[in-house]
Amino acid sequence: MLWACTGNISRDIPPLMRSVPSRSLAVMHFPHCSSALEFLLDSTSIFRRVDYGRLGSAEMVLSYDYSAALVPLLAIDAGKADADTSQAVRKVLSQAQELGLHALYTGDHLPKRAALLLSTSRPSIDEAWSHIESGASILDAPGFKEALSIDGPGSARIMLKNGSASRWLPRKLEMGFSRKDLVRFVSGAAAWTVADLDGPSGEGIVLHPWTDGKQSYMAQMFSGLPAGEMKLSSVIPDTLDMVVCLPLKDCKAYNEAWKECLDVRADLSRYKGRLASLKRASGKNPETWMAEQDLKEVARLDWDGHQVLLWRSARRSRASAAPAENPYPGFIPALFGEAFRITDEGFLAGRGNWTAAGSASDVAAWLDACKGKTAQGMPKKAKYYFRSGKFSLVADNNNIITNVN
């Protein structure tokens, strides 16, 4: 649920992309080499020990292949083979040899422009050269050319292959979810995700998903759904660690779109089985309960060791003002996904149109923590909202914006 739109195709393809091997899973394109490497890599990186001279202001692409070690391949636009370029290239080649880097100058083997390739691995250079000689490149990877061409204002972009999320997601993540669950989610969100680093001023990084129109991707599902109102800010604690929020303009329309997505993934029977099991245990069909509630917003909150599920109905909550037994545990995660699964949702309580579910102590803590509180900085409308620590992400009708504050 991180991505919500697919964008329009219009961007020209940088010729330097033809030096990137087809099985690359992360591709980073920047207009200026030296400043990009300072932004992308820490000070210990061997690439930052090279004095690129006049090539430091040249266009660059940093890519990572599919190997378990995530070997980097740096391609720098070396322009046309004039005397000044040849001298600059020779200086970098000399430094690369001293530093133990492997290097290759493509000369006139690429259309229009030459490129200088650097890597920490000889096989990486050899593979790149093999691709260049055969005319193959990342542009042949399914969906990459279309994803790269998505219209956007920025010239600095990072392209990530969602299906390879297990390779490029950090090993240690503190996002409120297990890495396994996050990998599964990201892999099914889109085919490629493009991060536009030069988005509109003040908006942070703009994410563009590419789904090829396939309904099995979450991004494609969200593209057909309108944003809903977010009123969560009035019922969250000040010391919030993580929040996942799903505003719903029409909960029935969302449910139908979700089931279509599950059907394409061949997961619909499993979904129906979970609902049938919950109905046997509670006497109520979760989808019927959802329609009766007329859900407008669903959220999960984690703070100070507490966690609750929240949902906002079109009418005032029928739950008591003090924690009482929850007759329908498991309904929210069954309907809206594993992001909304918490350890204990055995009790619930109501406040206005909001209902909270969790352990008795967590629900009581929520009732106490949100009295008279209104959090600042949250959007008023969204398709999806997530915040964990300093990282936030919001999907609205036009963009997917992520920030690290």
For the chain, the maximum distance between any two Cα atoms, rounded to a whole number of angstroms, is: 81
Question: What integer pLDDT is reported at residue 369 of this predicted model?
Answer: 87
How far is the C-alpha of 287 from the C-alpha of 291, rounded, in Å?
6
DSSP 38-98: HHHS-TT-GGGGS--GGGGGS-EEEEE-SSTT--EEEEEEEES--HHHHHHHHHHHHHHHH
* Per-residue confidence (pLDDT) for residue 9, from 0 to 100: 41
368-395: string of b/e by CB count within 10 Å (b at 16+)? ebbeeeeeeebbeebbbbbbbeeebbbb
Interacting residues of 115 by C-beta distance below 8 A, sequence separation 6+: 16, 19, 75, 76, 77, 78, 105, 106
Task: Say if CB 366 and CB 330 are below 8 A apart.
Answer: no
Asked whether residue 274 carries a pLDDT value surpassing 50, the answer given is yes
Lowest mean pLDDT among 145-154, 178-187, 227-236, 283-292: 145-154
Q: Per-residue pLDDT tens for 182-241?
A: 888 899 999 999 988 865 545 567 888 899 888 889 889 998 899 999 999 889 888 888
Lowest mean pLDDT among 1-10, 130-139, 337-346: 1-10
Its pTM stands at 0.84
Task: Measure the CA–CA gap between 83 and 102, rounded to whole angstroms.
Answer: 23
Q: How far apart are the first and last CA of the chain?
A: 21
Of 308, 328, 320, 375, nearest in space to 351 by CA: 320
C-alpha separations of 285 from 156, 254, 279, 280 in Å:
49, 17, 5, 8
* CA-closest candidate to residue 367, choices 401, 315, 324: 324
Give the number of C-alpha atoms closer than 13 A to the C-alpha of residue 114, restricted to the C-beta side: 16
How far apart (Å, rounded) are the C-alpha atoms in residues 134 and 132?
A: 5
Tens-digit pLDDT profile for residues 352-371: 999 999 999 999 999 998 77
Q: What is the mean pLDDT of the chain?
A: 87
* Model pLDDT, residue 385: 86
Using alpha carbons only, give the angle 23, 264, 342 rounded to the nearest 5 degrees.
90
pLDDT digits (tens, 9 = 90+) for 156-170: 889 999 999 998 888
Partnered with residue 17 across adjacent β-strands are none
Residue 109 pLDDT: 74
- Average the pLDDT over 376-399 and give the result: 78
Residue 6's pLDDT band (boundaries 50, 70, 90)? very low
Q: Is the pLDDT of residue 115 over 70?
A: yes
CB atoms within 10 A of CB 145: 17
